[in-house]
Structures are given as structure tokens and as C-alpha cells.
Homo-oligomer: A and B are copies of this chain.
Amino acid sequence: MITILLDSPVPLHDQLVSELRGLIAQGKLAVGDELPSVRQLAADLGINLNTVARAYRELTDAGLLTSARGRGTVVISSVEKGRGPKSLSQQRLESSMAGALADAKIAGISLEVIQAIFKKQTEIIWKNP
């Protein structure tokens, strides 16, 4: 359900936070759902328990989760504490993405090719040395 890249420049706990935020935002993790224990998730991902704990703590600080010793970690909200619905950079991404796709459609590029290009570019930008 959750995947992380061990050889990414972005720290593991940051990846985890992003992943979990995404799952919560998408509703795949609903309010009231219990997350796997830090040891469980750490074992699943092959990383240290502290790294998972740190991600949980950051999301707890953000107001999305609640944690307690002996009881586990639970989703308590799907909205960030004190944050707007969308970041400015995200809106900008939507705009530029929409523009690029509209142009591509007019140029007659097939959806399959577009998806392939998107995939390749993300790979280049994310995984290059």
C-alpha cells in the first residue's frame, strides 16, 4: 500500500509523510482508521522504527493523526492544521500541466504517448543521479 524509494534524495520520513498525506487526502485512509504500528510498518518497508515514528509524529503535529503509547496511531482528521486547501505551487502545477496537456491534445498526440512521456519525465527528474 505504501511504497518508498530507498535511494531517493528525499529523506525516508519525508517520503512517508507525503505518502500518508496522499492516502489520507484520497480517503484511502479515513478518519478513525488505525495505522500499522511503527514496528509493523517499519518491518514492512524494511526501515527503522524511528523513521516511521518520526513520520507519525510530524503528522500528529500537523493535526492529522493522534498517537498514544500502548494504543497505537489513528487518523483523526483529513485536513491540515491551519493550511489552505491547496498550496500555491500546487495550483501552479495544475495550470502548467493543463496547458501542456491541452497543447498536446491539439497537436494530435495520443493519450498513450502523453502518459508515456509523463512517466518518463517523472523518472528522469526524480531518479537521475
Contacts and interface: CB of A to CB of B under 8 A. Distances in A.
Interface string A85-123: 001011011101111111111011111111111100110
Main SS class of interface, A: helix
Interface stretch (A15-23, A29-37, A42-50, A67-75): A15-23
B110 A125 contact: no
Contact of A121 (B87, B98, B110, B117): B98
Copies in the complex: 2
- Going nearest first, the 10 A-B pairs with the smallest beta carbon separation are A18-B110, A89-B107, A22-B112, A96-B100, A93-B104, A97-B121, A101-B125, A98-B121, A9-B14, A101-B121
Interface of A: 9-11, 14-15, 17-19, 21-22, 25-26, 58, 61-62, 80, 87, 89-90, 92-94, 96-105, 107-118, 121-122, 124-126, 128-129
